[in-house]
Amino acid sequence: MFSPTSSKMLPKILGADVELGNFIVGRESGEWGTGPQAAEALLEEISGISNRRLAYHPQDWGRRYLPDNGSCAYIDLGHLEICLPETRSAFDFLACWQAMLRIARRALDTANDKLTDGQRIHVLVNNSDGLGHSYGSHLSVLLQRETWERLLHRRLHYLLYLASFQSSSIVYAGQGKVGSEGGAAPVQYQISQRADFMETMVGPQTTYQRPMVNTRDEPLGTTGARLHNIFYDSNLCHVATVLKAGVLQIVLAMLEEDWVSCDLLLEDPVEALTRWSRDPTLQARATTITGSSLTAVEHQLLFLEEARSFVEHHPLETVVPRAAEILGLWESTLVQLEAKDYPSLRSRLDWVLKLSILQASLRNHPELDWNSPEIKHLDQMYASLDREDGLYWCSERRGDIEVLVTEADIERFVHEPPEDTRAWTRAMLLRTSAETIDDVDWHYVRFANPDGSYWRVPLDDPAGSTRHDTESFFRSGLSFDQLLRALDARQEFPITSINYYGGTT
């Protein structure tokens, strides 16, 4: 165990960029299927402000930022990708995630109304089509830059600690899926949709040989570093979503304070992930570097014990809001998992809820088995965004889901940004003189001037530029130029040409 040195934790600001499965039924499929056409039709129905200078790129096309809540949407390789505004709390993260799904659903409904008879767009909030293709649900967390360097470049046991934690965390963060993909051995049902696609422990890539810990270094500001996590499934259950985000916040805070127990390191996190994912009975075991043989739940219980001790010695409210509630949810969920209390877990965890739905269907239709197309269809329909067709939403309407945020909380984030991150100021700027916005990104908004120069408003700190910081500027009746100066805007001039000696003219 490494003892803490000095308090250097940054607020564990959360973000996410999530690809959705989309296609059109009733339309002839082209070379790339109907996914790109579906994504374009969906994005067309999401109002936002685009970067006017962004060239076409298949992994980032049509990006637009939403003035309502400071979020973003674009097309990535034929998928509609929705990006959450930055949040401090895992509970706000849940509400913003559900809000973005509401925005995508409204776009789906409007786009379908415009299609000809016999055609219909479907959207799936999942990470695997069952045919060997996986798409991401990327979770971003703010880290201190020094911690990021230690984690990925200097202290390999930190890397192994994070990868080991992620391996067993699927017991509450998996969505579940029927069968296997990517040449893996056959299995009836497994816990994690991404497990078959995690092939190595570390690397910068996201679309091949996917790593459990991604090294992409895109800080999106000058404060800290952004850990870009590509490991997790998309969740719909409230408890699963909060645990996925909130427990990761706590574990990364532990890493920032050098609170690392080497007893929890797995010999092979990738192999452990595969083994644990393929056993929904939760009996499979993996080996730690000290020789202990643990189930995934036992492994998580040891992490919980470490986290409780850590929180007792470190006040976390400004770093991980509502940390005590997250710990309580984590513990009660693990206790239920240890007891195999699946009836109680149905309301909390996607993979358990989906498994119970599929098992009920198999009981009611003895002619079916796990290889039947009907069962594979139900697997996909669990995560349908359509409120009538989606099996998750049917369960929610019946009151079968443990709800952690209200519909009012969700609807608020459809129309308003989080108030305690830079998302608030971004949204306000997007609503101000929108016709002069020339360029926008997570960490700045740039406005064009008639003389060809620009005003660039920096949003470098994800935890800064909050409503408390900047609201008075927007409400005080300042002229547009005065507002920009109050926000520390910097005037920039276009480069007209570059000579061979590196100068500009």
Which amino acid is present at 503?
G
SS3 content of the chain, % helix, strand, coil (to 5): 40, 20, 40
Alpha carbons 110 and 41: distance in angstroms, whole number: 9
Active site residue 461: no
> Residue 375 contacts by C-beta under 8 Å, 6 or more apart in sequence?
178, 358, 361, 362, 368, 369
Structure tokens at 55: 């060239």
Give one DSSP letter per residue of 254-318, joined into a string. Answer: HHHTT---GGG-BS-HHHHHHHHHT-TTS--EEEBTTS-EEEHHHHHHHHHHHHHHHHHHS--TT
Tokens 């996986």 correspond to: 134
Alpha carbons 382 and 141: distance in angstroms, whole number: 28
Backbone angles phi, psi at 190, to 5 degrees: -135, 165
Give one DSSP letter per residue of 26-70, joined into a string. Answer: TS--BTTBTHHHHHHHHHHTS--EE-TTPPP-TTSEEEEE-TTTS
Q: Which of 276, 125, 272, 298 is nearest to 191 (CA)?
A: 276
Backbone angles phi, psi at 96, to 5 degrees: -70, -40
Helices 90-113 and 35-44 pack at an angle, to 10 degrees, of 100
Tokens 């008639």 correspond to: 450
Q: Are 212 and 165 in contact (CB under 8 A)?
A: no
Q: What 3-state class would DSSP assign to 337?
A: helix
Alpha carbons 218 and 148: distance in angstroms, whole number: 12
Which amino acid is present at 474?
F
Backbone angles phi, psi at 321, to 5 degrees: -55, 140
Cα within 13 Å of Cα(416), Cβ side: 11
**142 burial type by CB count under 10 A (0-12 exposed, 13-18 middle, 19+ buried):** buried
Q: Using only C-alpha atoms, what is the Rg of the chain?
A: 23
Of 17, 76, 92, 196, which one is the catalytic site residue? 76
From its phi and psi, is residue 84 left (phi > 0), alpha (psi between -120 and 50) or beta? beta
C-alpha distances out from residue 213 to 201, 206, 209, 229, 295, Å = 6, 10, 12, 6, 21
Q: Are 301 and 332 in contact (CB under 8 A)?
A: no
Write out the catalytic residue numbers.
76
